[in-house]
Each structure stands twice: as structure tokens, then as C-alpha cells.
Amino acid sequence: MRIVLVGPPGAGKGTQAAFLAKNLGIPHISTGDLFRANISQETELGRQAKSYMNAGNLVPDEVTIGMAEDRMRQSDAENGFLLDGFPRNVSQAVALDAFLDGTGTKLDAVLDLEVPEDEIVKRIAGRRICRNDSAHVFHVFYASPKTEGVCDVCGGELYQRGDDTEATVRNRLDVYHRETEPIIDHYKAQGLVVTISALGKVEEVTRRAMAALPQLRH
Ligand code: AMP
């Protein structure tokens, strides 16, 4: 299965993507995680991405599309993948369509996670992530770890992402409305979009998503 996950920052894309990818037996490809890995390894790509990310802006397409395509070409992605955070604008969506055409494959579904605007800032400002694994996500109110600042899963240190501050979140939301939302219409025209509510417990949202996905299989 080839799935794109879309939703505003704070919709729980990363968390849902990790669960869904595991349930479906496909790799979770997050361009945000790829950038963060490049930043911590101090690569040239990381250096190029860092200032855009910290301001909450999109990293330029020239950098992003090549990185995403390289990842999709790896052997574990041969039979499917779940894309989280890519495409993030219409030109990336068009590039992805062309890439899939070139490999004789197509998307099965675009899962749109919906969350009310006032909930978003609250969610993001309290988010804490494990330094060892960004799939280990906690929240100071909604999913607090047993010991403050320590990951329940692996004992790693929890931290707040540099782009999770309130000012950056507001800009990321503007960028989402302006740049990313139009891809939903792009994929609606292909009959691929299914929208689910991202409110409620993590497991409830995962169940909702799994229930919605088969309807989109062609
Ligand atoms: P995420 O972890 O998906 O929230 O992404 C964090 C940040 O990485 C975004 O705010 C962007 O600065 C950058 N980023 C991730 N994916 C993309 C993409 N497809 N295009 C451009 N920038 C991206």
C-alpha cells in the first residue's frame, strides 16, 4: 500500500504514521525525520534545511524532492510506504505523481487528519520527543511520561523540538493553510482522499484510520 498522510502540525501525524506503518507492514517515511537526522549528523543537507525548519518554513523543493525520492527508492519501500510530511505543496505532489508514474505504481490513499485550530497550538506547545527515537512522543498534559523528562519506552531524554515554540507553530499553521492544504484538492481530483477526525485517544484515531483505508483500495 502507498499512503500519504496529510494534516496540520499537531494533528498527530508522526504518532499515527508510526502505528499505521507498523500495522500495515510498510516503512514510515517522514521527511521531517530525515531532515532532523541530517541536522544531528551535521550533513550538508542538514545545514541547508536547518534555518527553514527553525523558522517553520518549508525547505526548498530542490532539496526536499530528491531526498524523498532517494528514500522511496530504497529496497524496503518496494512494496509500499507511508509518507508523513511529504508532499507538502502542490509542486511536490506533482513531482510525486511523476515519480510513481515512472516506477509504474500509484497511491492507494491520502489520509487527511482533521483537527480544530484552537486544539493545535495546545497540542504542539506541550509536545515532548525522545532524543533516541522521534516515534516516542509524549505530552505534558495528554500523555505525560512516568518520570518528567524521561522516555517511558527507552529511558532517553525528552526534549521540545526547536520548531515547536508558539511563534513558530503559528507560522507553520499559516504555511500549512497556504501551501499544504491545496494538495488535498489535488488528490480529491484523483479520488484518493479520506478525511478522519484526529480528536480523541491515539488508539481511537488509529482504529478510525485503519477502518477508513480499505474503502480506498482500487
Ligand atoms: P515535520 O516533522 O513533518 O513537522 O516537519 C518539520 C519541518 O521540516 C517542517 O516544518 C519543514 O520545515 C520541514 N519539512 C518536512 N517535510 C517537508 C517537505 N515535504 N517540504 C518542505 N519542508 C519540509
pLDDT confidence bin for 119, thresholds 50/70/90: confident
Q: Is the CB of 11 under 6 A from ligand 1?
A: no
Residue 32 grid coordinates: 521531517
Give CA–CA dist 92/183, Å, rounded.
9
Residue type, 202: V
Residue 31 CA to ligand 1 center (angstroms) comes to: 6
Instruction: Write out pLDDT tens, residues 135-188.
Output: 899 999 888 999 999 999 999 999 998 888 878 888 999 999 999 999 999 999
Total residue count of the chain as it appears in this document = 218
Instruction: Write out pLDDT tens, residues 31-77.
Output: 999 999 999 999 999 999 999 999 889 999 999 999 999 999 999 99
Contact (Cβ atoms closer than 8 angstroms) between residue 107 and residue 3: yes
Instruction: Cite the active site residues.
Output: 13, 88, 127, 161, 172
Ligand 1 atom closest to the Cα of residue 86 is: 19
Residue 56 CA to ligand 1 center (angstroms) comes to: 8
Given ligand 1 and candidates 40, 45, 50, 59, which is best to mutate, with the most ligand atoms within 8 Å of its CB?
A: 59
The owner of cell 512516568 is 146
Strand 137-139 to 158-159 pairing:
unpaired
Q: Is the CB of 58 under 6 A from ligand 1?
A: yes
Residue 112's nearest CA partner among 3, 9, 5, 1 is: 5
CATH architecture of 2-115+180-216: 3-Layer(aba) Sandwich (3.40)
- Residue 131 above 80 pLDDT? yes
